[in-house]
Structure 1
């Protein structure tokens, strides 16, 4: 058969042209801002009613905040009038206004806290709904999508992105609205008291706004860019931490280290260039709202007005207190604007995850397989979504007879793992069909009770070893779990632990690679799937563990339809069928003896024999080889 080489590399090449023009960057950033705003609106629709109610209550709270100032002025007038007339203070009148002051203050607090309670409920509901949507979506996403990078995106979305939107939902509707309504209402009241005192309350505000206008120009675009650069740093940090062993071995020349360092330096340079001039201007602007300056202007000029008998000392005191609220309100508004920008970027990333393409799934077409013979019928597959993406698997056809063991062999990168994972429906082929018992795998409702797999990198959860083994069959009895562990050659080692099967992996203990692999084999044994995919199950284990794993795999493979991936032909000489893969295509099929005359297989055999001891036990199955 003719070998056709095709690339399976899904990574996009780095851009080689000149950097984007500034106008193009600005347009792209604005488009992303708009997309983020749309994404935020879409995500917030289920809780928009509750948020609106929270805003309305914040408006009421802001208006009620005027009443204590009115009461304060009235109390001052009563005291001053009594002093001027040389008569006793009207205690009943003062008491009445004190009750009004305290009552209005408490009423405002109650309304404010009710509004915050509603928005926090909306935030909790929002997080719950987004998590439910993610669970529903991820249940239908191809398993092949869950690379370390995409899994990191999911973790970031569930932990960081939802947390970023929290400020916008739980606080901004109330705090932001209150920061606008309360100062405006109080400023109106200050003008009602006396128009000159009203002007004093906002005397420094134009200077502050003028100084801060420059930093606000392009703030939205800069915030989006900062968020993008932070995401890049976060992604590179994940790569760096994941490859820390390599980094420590090779020092600063480590690729992940250099990538992370470059991203961090790039963010540092961007942030410093952006913030350095802002700090100077912000310091100047903030000085116009400094408490000593505000008090000096309001009390100093107000005292002059008092001496002219046009206003009272109580009026000046009330308006001075109102003037002191303006800096706080502006700070809250700025924080709300910042939260809005960050939340837009977070919402956009959440929506992108929630729109991840899923596997086609039509429950009306589900069917029950008849037997467990596996057929690959002219299957082609590519990692890219567009038609121009190169094929990683091209026109592959072969049959796995029920109850037999078939090995895929071939050079690294030939497509062996890709073919095997299509049987487990890690993704759907671009064309052709994979069938089990005459039914396409996409139409089998209980596929993972029929297809089990053991991969080279065992994945154990931070739960008890008992639950790790019973993950695919949670209703299994203790006796069944112990029997699976015994068959996987791991029972004695689990029993030797202080807490036995109750030991929590990753908390109470860690396991060697060989032990973790045998736990995953016990899990596959317990599921008892009639079709089995074995992908390099001993590749990452120590030599001492390979004998135990070999025995466990032999027990696992017995009586099942097995597809295993092998890198060295000498370990699979006893299987029922060997399929030679090269360039994503089937080059030859046959037994070991039949394939010795095939040039590609002969090269693999000679290369393996030259580099390894050929006296190893042949499979019923030790799978070793490349990832794809």
Structure 2
């Protein structure tokens, strides 16, 4: 039976907007997303209309069978078996045909759902292959997971079921109610006697729903933010014994949401109870059978008429329930479609189609400026210019947050600068075909997917032989560690693999060894490892960097002595370039060395 349920608790991804504007955006996104399967959905709805109309025929047959039986009883004559069999055959055929049409309609919409889900996933893959890698923060990765799993699952009901069930929920009750009025207008009124009262109760309960939903999203955003703050800092909080104070902000936000939600839901539950009672089976039967019995007593209708319209009255609430669920599913699917559409419209790296091969492997940063928020936001890099000569090692050094890692990621084309240009061998890196055959990198945190160690090492060269993979692992000082594992190179990387951070870093180095790109980026590759692993990693990096153009990102100045060139960076600007001896008179470089010497005391 239909109930007005409390709205589901969902975390809002976006800040609340005007409900009417948001509803229009959701509807637009849903129409755009469903466009590829619109013809199949229209066919499903058409078949559902046919199925809904056919639902009337069995009731017509029941009425006629009842009349034949009653006429025979009144006349005390034999029942006309041929007439009864005729209407029974009509009942069975039309009921079977209705079910067949219904299942064909569901088949059409389910295939449309499968096709749409496949299309969306393909579009996502194609889009994300051109999205800047800097976009893939942990937050955006969470959005992608939610969309590919949760949001596509949410629109499943709208595509696979709602066109058929929602259409039938409108057509079948209307057709049956119309037939009830054909039987007798008074029985027709009895069949829908409580529906207007239910509609009024629903309208009362749904009043202000959009505004309350926006307010709920806003409060949930606060709860989510407080929870993330608490969880992120839990280690430090527990270490300093500040747990009670640290989680009080989360408790306050949760308590505020709880009070709001209860205040909203309690009246809805009362309306829900009222709606349930108005469409309850006992009440519906009491009205229809009671009123119908009075009309039978007056001789104005037959018992068969009353039984048929009473059955119709029981199906009307079912149609309303399906219709209400379909309306709510449409609202939820609209929000999901908007999130999916937003992801499918994620800005991509520029690509003018021009392709070239570099001549040599000099790297030039030419007046490069960049901001993570785009032009107009605070600059992460401001007019950066320097050159990496082929076969040399250039070290980027500077205080934390100075822009060193940003420079490294732009060379790897995790994003494009909004001003200036980066060239490799005289060619802008945006025009180089298969850039990662020319540039490889080892980052501070090794990026290893949950696949076998063999596939992890061969990620940049999937055609590599086992012997080449073993040679790369040997060069990275990780071969013995891998072979000591129970499954060896077939071990799937993850928490159950038992690999330490240093071992994971050496697997990442083995991957770079196998690619053997002439330009190598090293971003603090030993920053998060233990001393023993650090020594092994440094040996592996020394072999890897030999005869390559290397960009080395370092926070500690003592690790850059002996490099060919040092670039001193601070606040996104290049302060000086030169060798260690050249920069000793540079105040910023001197301060870095002073901090090292103070730390050793």
Q: CA deviation at 1:386?
A: 3.9
**Structure 2 counterparts to residues 224-373 of structure 1, below 5 A:** 226=216, 249=239, 253=243, 264-265=254-255, 267-363=257-353, 365-373=354-362
Aligned partner of 1:551 among 539, 549, 558: 539
Conserved? CA contact 1:246–1:254, under 8 Å: no
Pair 27,506 (structure 1): closer, same or farther in 2 beyond 3 Å = closer
1:312 positional shift: 1.2
Cα 1:243–1:361 change in 2 (3 A) is farther
Map residues 157-176 of structure 1 onto 2, 5 A cutoff: 157-176=147-166
Task: Check the 8 A contact 1:380/1:431 in 2, yes or no.
Answer: yes
2:85 matched to 1:111?
no
Which moved further from structure 2: 601-610 or 366-375?
601-610
Which aligned pairs between 1:589-608 and structure 2 lie closer than 5 A?
589-608=577-596
Structure 2: how far apart are the matches of 1:263 and 1:451?
47
Residues in 2 aligned to 1:437 and 1:507: alpha-carbon distance in whole angstroms? 41
Q: TM-score, normalised by structure 2?
A: 0.93
1:29–1:225: 8 Å Cα contact kept in structure 2?
no
Q: CA deviation at 1:609?
A: 2.5
Distance 1:114 1:446 in 2: 48
Alpha-carbon distance in structure 2 between the residues aligned to 1:255 and 1:428: 43
Q: What is the CA–CA distance in structure 2 between the aligned matches of 1:509 and 1:583, rounded to whole Å? A: 40
SS in 2 for 1:565: strand
Q: Which residue of 1 aligns with 2:9?
A: none
1:455 has 2:443 as partner: yes
Over aligned residues, Cα RMSD in angstroms? 2.3
Task: Give the drift of 1:256.
Answer: 9.4
Alignment CA distance shift 1:603-1:131 (3 Å): same
TM-score by length of 1: 0.89
Alignment gaps of 5+ in structure 1 = 1-24, 614-628
Aligned residues: 587
Native 8 Å contact 2:17 2:214 kept in 1: no
Which 10-residue stretch deviates more, 443-452 or 222-231?
222-231
- Given that 1:30 and 1:221 are in contact with CA atoms closer than 8 Å, whether structure 2 keeps it comes out as no
State how far apart, in whole Å, the 1-side matches of 2:227 and 2:128 are.
24
Note the C-alpha offset of 1:382: 1.2
Q: Does 1:379 align with 2:365?
A: no
- The Cα of 1:207 is off from its aligned counterpart by 1.2
Name the CA distance, whole Å, in 2 between partners of 1:76 and 1:518. Answer: 84
Which of residues 404, 413, 423 is equivalent to 2:392? 404
Q: Which moved more, 1:250-259 or 1:529-538?
A: 250-259
Kept in 2, the 8 Å contact 1:379–1:393? The answer is yes
> Once the two structures are superposed, what CA deviation does each residue of 1:228-253 show, in whole Å capped at 9, x if it has no partner?
76677667767766766556656775
Closer, same or farther: CA 233–341 of 1 in aligned 2, 3 Å: farther
3-state SS of paired residue (1:532):
strand
Q: Distance in 2 between matches of 1:45 and 1:29?
A: 24
Which of 515, 520, 524 aligns to 2:508? It is 520
Do the aligned partners of 1:157 and 1:350 also contact (CA within 8 Å) in 2? Answer: yes
DSSP 3-state at the match of 2:161? helix
Superposition pairs for residues 7-86 of structure 1, below 5 Å? 28-86=18-76
Equivalent in the alignment of 1:99: 89
Asked if 1 retains the 8 angstrom alpha-carbon contact of 2:16 and 2:214, the reply is no
Q: 1:109 and 1:259 mapped to 2: Cα distance? A: 56
Find the partner of 2:139 among 135, 141, 149.
149
Deviations 1:122-171 (A, max 9, x none): 11111111111111111111111111111111111111111111121111
Q: Distance in 2 between matches of 1:237 and 1:349?
A: 23
Aligned residue for 2:488? 500
* Structure 2 CA distance for partners of 1:571 and 1:119, relative to 1, 3 Å: same
Post-superposition offset of 1:523: 0.9
Q: Which runs of 5+ in 2 are unaligned?
A: 1-14
| 2:92 aligned with 1:88 | no
Is the contact between residue 220 and residue 341 of structure 1 (CA under 8 Å) also seen in structure 2? no
Check 1:466–1:612 CA distance in 2 against 1; reply closer, same or farther (3 A cut).
Answer: farther
| Residue aligning to 1:570 | 558
Alpha-carbon distance change, 36 to 249 in structure 1, aligned in 2, over 3 angstroms: farther
User: In the alignment, what sits opposite 1:11?
Assistant: none
My pick for the range that moved more, 454-463 or 474-483, is: 454-463
**CA distance in 1 between partners of 2:96 and 2:111 (Å):** 22
